Structure 1
Amino acid sequence: MAPTGELVHVKSLEIHGFKSFVDRVAFGFEDGITAIVGPNGCGKSNVVDAFRWGMGEQSPRRLRGKGMEDVIFAGSEQRSPVGMAEVVITFDTSDGQAPPAYAAFQEIQIARRLYRSGESEYLINKVPTRLKDVLDFFRDTGIGTRGYAIVEQGRIAEIVSARPEERRGLIEEAAGISKYKARRHEAERKLAGTEQNLLRVSDVLGEIKRQIASLERQARKAARFKRLRETQRLLELSLAFDERAELLAEIEESRRRAAEFSDELAGREAKLGEKEAALEQHRVELAERERIVMSESERLFHLRSQIKELEGRISYGRRERGSLLESSESRGREREQLEKQLRESEEAQARLEDELRAVTSALEADGAAMGVADGEVRGAEEALRAVEAERDAASHTLVEHLTLIARLEDRLAALGDRREEVDRRLRSTDEQVEVHQSEAARVDSDREALEEGLRNLLADRDALMGKLREAANQKSAADTELESARDALRGARELRETRRARLQSLEELIERREDLGSAARHLLEGATDRSGLRGLLRDSVRIEPGYERAVEVVLAGAAEALVADEPASALAAIDALRAQSAGRGAFVVASGRSEPTPGIVPLGTPLRSHVTPGPGYESLFDRLLRDVNCVDALREVVDVYGAAPPCTFVTRAGDLLTASGVLQGGAGSSEPGALVRIAEVRQLREQVAELDRRVSGLELRSRNAEEAAAAA
């Protein structure tokens, strides 16, 4: 970069957490032309955006983003998001051609930081500064964020087709005129404001002259008011002391009750653990009983099937027994008929044998009349043959009958055997029926017992199902608690990382003493003899939280001063700084004449009561903060004392009214002072420690919720 008037050369560019550069990356620029090449999407344009952002660009659109927080690395699948983006541009001014305000430096370092919380910082040579100072620096070099120094795609065509007014702006910036125009506009605004202030002062003076008499009456009233206010203050202090004693007693009682509640909570947690163990045991018992119920149900079904089968067999046996009895009775009747026919056949055979014996005896007795009776004999023979034929027929019939009788007897015997078998089977069936009836009775009793057990098991199952539903509700609540714990843990971790990044940045700033001037760093780093110098004034005091801004305003530049034992030590240090061209320094002499204690001012509280100096620094702070009271608002002081108060008044916000009538206040600088920065570091340490404890508690809560969800 070679603007008109001064010549500065970009030596290096450091990027950390800016867009795609999550890790700290340093670019070195040697003499000649430096080119950055690479494929699309590798971050070449991000380097140009880093230059533009480090030079103070405030428009996110010119940085290809929707909001300024888009420049902070937002994380990826492999890397988590960071809490800060930082760009450091280093210029080489070793040839002495630099803006006049920085001519004594060999290098000029411009740094810009942006935190995810929205806070931003600007540093020149590691000293916190304002955006205006950064813009003024680049105006002194003729370079701007929207000038010709950065030429991007389409910029040349835009310059060629620009209107004369736009070309004039580029030429003025290249010629270094734009800074003077900006300063002229700023001076004109200040002059206009000063004229308005003078008009208001004239009006106020005229009004004050008219109100002198009224002010004298008000002064008398104010004096009376001061006396009454002091009396009221003493009474309020007495009441506050009594209230403090009561509050301490209440605090002690609250601590005792908190301890009791903690013990009770531990006991209830133990009972909850026991109930959860009992619930698990009931769940196991329910599963076992359900298995027993299923087994007994299967057994009951099997027994009922056996009972139905036995009842069918008994019914079949009874039907078979009835058919066998009927068959036996029919066979008995048939046997009686056959026996009757056999007796008739035997009687007929006996009659025929008698007739045959009669004929034979007649033949033997009447042999003589054989011849006579040949015919009769032949007839008798024929009759005999007929009778024999009839006898043969009767014998055949008798044989058939005897065969039939034998068959019938065999059949009767078989029927008898079958009857005996049937009787035996009937007796066995009756016994089985009795056995099965007793078995059925026993099964019925077992079934009733099983049904009763089943009812009990169902009742237990219903109870356990209720507990199971309760456990399901507990699981749902545990899942909700787990999700809530994870969300709270995620938020706490993000907040802790943001606070930790801010704390590390401030600690690094304080540790490297980058917030100090070059003279103070020169003396503290041992570049010269430090005999008689104790250290920084800000390191020797602890301020009550909330009063840092007030103390810083009262001390003004002394807040970053070095403490010297004697005036000679401070003068020697100033001579050394002048001899070594190390800059200008501020010193506070610890030794000094003790001033008399001022009178009591009833309005406000002494600022010294909110400050705790280190050992050996008490008299120094008594002298620095003498006649300084802290009030809630300066309007009350002005209403009571007007523009000439008896002492200096300051508010916690930093508004100041000195005893000489000088009023200071307003929005103030965006950059915090040394005391505010140290207080912020202390507060951030406490917050980070508290967030660590909170994260640990939330991690424990999350683990407990996961265990509860898994157990449920």
Structure 2
Amino acid sequence: MPLIRIEVSDFKSYRGHQVIGPFKNFTSVIGPNGAGKSNLMDAISFVLGVKSAQLRSSQLKDLVYRGRRLAKGPLDGSDATQDQEDDDNSDDQGEGTAKKAWVLAVFQDEKRKEWLFQRTISTTGASEYRLNNKVVTYSAYNAALTSHNILVKAKNFLVFQGDVEAVASQSPRELSRLIEQISGSLELAQEYEKAKEAQERATENATFNFTKRRGIAGEIKQYKEQKGEAERFESLCDQKDDLILKRILYKLFHIEEALEANARDIQTKSKALAGLRAEHEEHEKALENVRAEQARARTAVVREEKKVKKAEKALEAKEPELVEVDAQIKHSSRKLQNSQKIQEQVGNDAERQQAKLHSLRRDLSNAKQAADEAAEAQRRASQHNTSLSEDSLAEYRSLKASASVLAVSERQALETLGRDEKTTSRTLAQARTKDEELQQNQERLRGDEQTQKASKSELEEKLATLQGDHARSKQEYENQQSERTRISRLETETNEKLADVYQRLLQAGVDRNESEREAKLKETLASLQRIFPGVRGRVVDLCKPTQRKYETAVSVILGRNIDAVVVDEEKTAIECIDYMRTQRAGQATFLPLDTISTKPINDKFRSFARGARLAVDVIQYEPAVERAMLHACGNALVCDTMDVARYVCWERGQEVKAVTLEGTVIHKSGLITGGRSTHGGGKKWEEKDVQASGIESLETEGQGRRKRHC
């Protein structure tokens, strides 16, 4: 921001109102000694708020113009020095001394707006600051200068006489100090150190807080997830309750419908009962008849079994005959095959003989034909010539003799063939007769074979039937034996269970020693559960120790809350109390889940000492009744021995209720009470177990009876 001009009034050597300027980017002020060059620098420093000590004055009032005294001697201008200007600081009053002095500096910012900084001082030493012709405090005045990057304390706007030489001769430390002074940071050194320490502390705190924040963020995320899970769990529980309610209503609706339908059926079937009874009597009679028939059938079965045995024996006796018949069948088959081969050979011989006989007959026919022709020729010749001449007769005889001689072999062959023909005919007749006999034997054997096969098949079928009957009878016998064994074993097991249940009933005294108040309380609770849907039951019915050894300790810890009734809402509890008061059903303690007060479980007790555990960790219960269990048990500990309880309560000094497995209690105050005989053991839990076991045994016995009946 450039300096435009300086206006002074009665400041040091400047008398009256003087305007110096305008200044350019580079302006040089020259003049002889005593002309007021240094006073111009002092005026600029003065208007910018520099202290009087740095303006070559001990007091601000020395900056006000004072009139000059008359000179007492001649002055030599050449001997004047810079120090002569200090005469203005003398206390002598001359002619025209002013009452106040002021300096006005005009600056121009980058927006070409002029800023007027004016400082006025009186002879009393009082200063007045004006900014744009308005009186302001020094703080506002200095803040305005600082906003234009003019730092008064750092004096970063003027270079005084001798400063360059002084700067050049300074050490690095002094130069650093000068730079800090010019920049204004030197005055803030202490604040810087404090701020640095504060920054380091803030950094450490920020790091710690960041780490803590990350941990908290993780915990918040975990809690949000747990919250979401809890909300989902509660939502699912609500849905479960709604579904259970709908299911119960659905069952009740169908039960009512079934009751109505059954009532109608009862009315309808009651009418038909008389007829059914008559039919039943008839069926009973028929059953008796069937049983009689069954007895007869069993007798028949016995007889048939005897027959089967006889048939088996007969079959065994017939087996050699069957073997012999098979051998005969095989022998007859071989004979039949041989006869068939002989028959085939005889047939072939007969065909050859027939062919030969046919050839001979053809030759005989030819010879007869030739003889007939010769006789016919002779007859014709005799007709022409009744008598032959001697020559012709002689020739005939000669030819006849020649023919007799020449045809001997043929006649012999013809005779032989005739004999062979007769022999062959007889042989063929014998073969045919034998063939017929063989065929008859074959047919007879085939008939015998079919008869034997039919008899064998019938015997095999009868044997298979008898074997099947025997297998079924044997299977039935084995089934009866298995059923008898199973029934005996079941009867033994049932007797053992009944004996065990009876023994436990005697020990617990459930069926004989139950008090009148207990029975009345159970009846009242059953009535409340039927009337009010929010009644869940007694604490003893809603929880159970994880092991039998904890029963006594848990009973002691629950104390009077063991028979307390758990309900969903306080409203339900009030309604139950009103009902009991109206019905005069006695008194009971109610634990409403929505308003009951519970203390958070101290997790350190879960692993505080070996042999000590929280009571809520050794019982089983539904999540819906967790608040009631926490209220009843609290932070109470179940200890295995008295030594563990003493260690927790006395040596470690924990104010917690500790109960041993025998029922001995060390209270928070340090008192010891109780014992097994005082608290009666875990009778409540024994009653529950005995009742459950009795019901289970009766159901098992009923199933066994139904099976035996079936």
TM-score range, shorter chain: under 0.3
Q: Which has the higher contact order (CA 8 A, sep 6+)?
A: 1
Q: Is the radius of gyration larger for structure 1 or structure 2?
A: 2
* TM-score, normalisation: structure 1: 0.27
